[in-house]
Structures are given as structure tokens and as C-alpha cells.
């Protein structure tokens, strides 16, 4: 599988919104599930959300608390992460990756993208 490509990151003020996109090739996008992870400086990478490509089943980390929404457009081979009410602690590099399982465990993911930087100012 080829690497997916993330986009949509940038600098935003606290309380603002960003929509991240993860574009994948047809073969890569045909994985069973895709997930979003993030990694802040000095922190371990953590799970954000996952979605089953075919059924659209979604799963979020507990801390998301309704602020983020994951979705997919199979015709465009793209998965999205809509982020609202952003906080400074959301500052991180956001990655998408593929998986053959519906899981929050990053060990089950492969074909990681290079990431897109999200910076939230106070």
C-alpha cells in the first residue's frame, strides 16, 4: 500500500475549527478501516477516531467529547476529520493510517501518512 496524504492543518485560534482530509489511492483506501491519530511534542502518539470504510461505523477516543467528527467519501477516496471548538492542547501533528481491523490500537495500523501540523493559539 502507498502512504495516504493528510492536508488541512494550519494555525487557528482557540475555539476555531479545522477540517483535515486524508487522501488515499484506491488500493490503500480499500483497507477495512482508517483512523486518525495525533502526536504532540514530547508526547506519545494517541488515538483520535476511526471509521470503517464500507459501513461507516465510527469510534472516538473518550476525550473527543463531541468536538470532532470523522467521516468518509468513498467516491473521493478520502476520509475527513472535522475539528470544532479547538483548544491549545489540541496542538499536534495529526496522522491518518489504514488498518485491517476496527481498532484504536496503533499497532494494528499501517501505511501511515506524513502528518499535518495543527497549531491552536490561545
- Region 21-34 average pLDDT: 87
Q: pLDDT category, 70, cuts 50, 70, 90? A: very high
pLDDT digits (tens, 9 = 90+) for 33-43: 999 999 999 99
Q: Is the pLDDT of residue 26 over 80?
A: no
DSSP H helices, the chain, are: 26-29
**Distance of alpha carbon 54 from alpha carbon 66, whole angstroms:** 23
In this predicted structure, the answer to whether residue 1 has a pLDDT above a threshold of 70 is no
Q: What is the pLDDT of residue 65?
A: 85
Residue 20 has a pLDDT of 98
Plot region of 75 (φ>0 → left; ψ -120 to 50 → alpha; else → beta): alpha
Mean pLDDT estimate for the chain: 94
Q: Are 112 and 52 in contact (CB under 8 A)?
A: no
d(CA 108, CA 42): 23
Which residues lie across from 46 on neighbouring strands? 38
Amino acid at each position: 500500500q502507498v502512504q495516504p496524504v493528510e492536508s488541512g492543518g494550519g494555525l487557528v485560534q482557540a475555539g476555531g475549527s479545522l477540517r483535515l482530509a486524508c487522501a488515499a489511492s484506491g488500493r490503500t483506501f480499500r483497507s477495512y478501516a482508517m483512523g486518525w491519530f495525533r502526536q504532540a511534542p514530547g508526547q506519545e502518539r494517541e488515538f483520535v477516531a476511526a471509521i470503517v470504510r464500507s459501513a461507516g461505523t465510527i469510534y472516538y477516543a473518550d476525550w473527543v467529547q463531541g468536538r470532532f467528527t470523522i467521516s468518509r467519501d468513498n467516491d473521493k477516496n478520502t476520509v475527513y476529520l472535522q475539528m470544532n471548538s479547538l483548544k491549545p492542547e489540541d496542538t499536534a501533528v495529526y496522522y491518518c493510517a489504514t488498518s485491517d481491523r476496527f481498532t484504536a490500537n496503533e499497532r494494528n495500523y499501517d501505511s501511515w501518512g506524513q502528518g499535518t501540523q495543527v497549531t491552536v493559539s490561545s
